[in-house]
Amino acid sequence: MSLTDEQRTKLDRAQEILGYEFGQTQYLLSAITHPSATEGRAVKFSYERLEFLGDSILGALVANEAFHRFPELDEGGLTRIKVALVSGASLSEVAEKLGFADIIVFGSSETGTGRRGLHSALENVYEAVVAALYLDGGVDAAGAFVERTLIPKMSPSLAREPENPKSALQEKLQEGGITPTYKLVETQGPPHDRTFVAQVYAGDKGLAQGVGRTKKEAESQAAKSTLARLSEFFGIGLTDEQQAERAEKAAAEKAARAEEKAAKVAARAAEKAARAEEKAARAAKRKQD
């Protein structure tokens, strides 16, 4: 198999991150290759097929771990744990922390785009890597990777009925008479690999953004990020001392802006007076002549 310098470098780095040396490196190369890099070639050369297999293997591994770790939980609780762990947000977060963003082989169509589909690519590559490990080293190799990277995020708290971030944010903001709204601000990636970016607004003030595989997920992530930053946006949750400090800072900034505006008005008035004086002097001179 003839490899480019980029492929060889990223394969080596990928194996270093995984702590596993592949007997058949083609599995790993396909797992870290974005579809944009295989245009015109068979689908097996990118992560698309491996992603399909990895999704099923990952689900089984997580379900098995949850089943044995939490014998007191019913089917609903176990399902919520599994869904939370294998969600796009969870997998992309783990993949990013592992450094997967540096090992993905992108095609020329992604060059200069800021890798618009990176969020979903990270999720897909994680699943594809699970499949590649399974095909090369069996369930033990795949299981060891999942055990090391994803299972530490597993906790009984994930079994609780999830709070709807959008509802929670609306409830918080309506305490101050504010109703949040959402706007789709960007659609990233090719048609087969869409990622949506949504932003939540309070009136015309843009708050946090969220990214998801669907518009609904993007809005939910935006609401979740806003909830985490309410004190930054509105001072909610601050102590009286912090509130006073925040108000004092806002007043100082407002006074500074007013002073700056007054200075500009004064400068314009002085400039206007100078022009009038100059005009009057020219008129007096013409009269003398």
Catalytic residues: 55, 127
Q: Please name the residues in contact with 52: beta carbons below 8 A apart, sequence gap of 6 or more.
A: 131
**Alpha helices, H only, 32-117:** 48-69, 75-85, 88-98
Residue whose entry in the numeric block shows the structure tokens 């290759």:
33
Alpha-carbon span 34 to 45, nearest angstrom: 9
- Phi/psi for 36 (5° steps) reads -65, -20
Instruction: Give CA–CA dist 72/66, Å, rounded.
Output: 11
User: What is the distance between the alpha carbons of residues 274 and 215, in angstroms, rounded to a whole number?
Assistant: 58
CA distance linking residue 163 with residue 64, whole number of Å: 25
Residue with tokens 């930053």: 229
d(CA 84, CA 149): 15
Q: Using the structure block, give the residue that is written with the tokens 């007096």.
A: 284
Taking the mean position of all CA atoms in its chain, how far away is CA 161? Answer: 24
Residue with tokens 């409830």: 171
Distance of alpha carbon 58 from alpha carbon 42, whole angstroms = 25
Coil/strand/helix, residue 24: coil
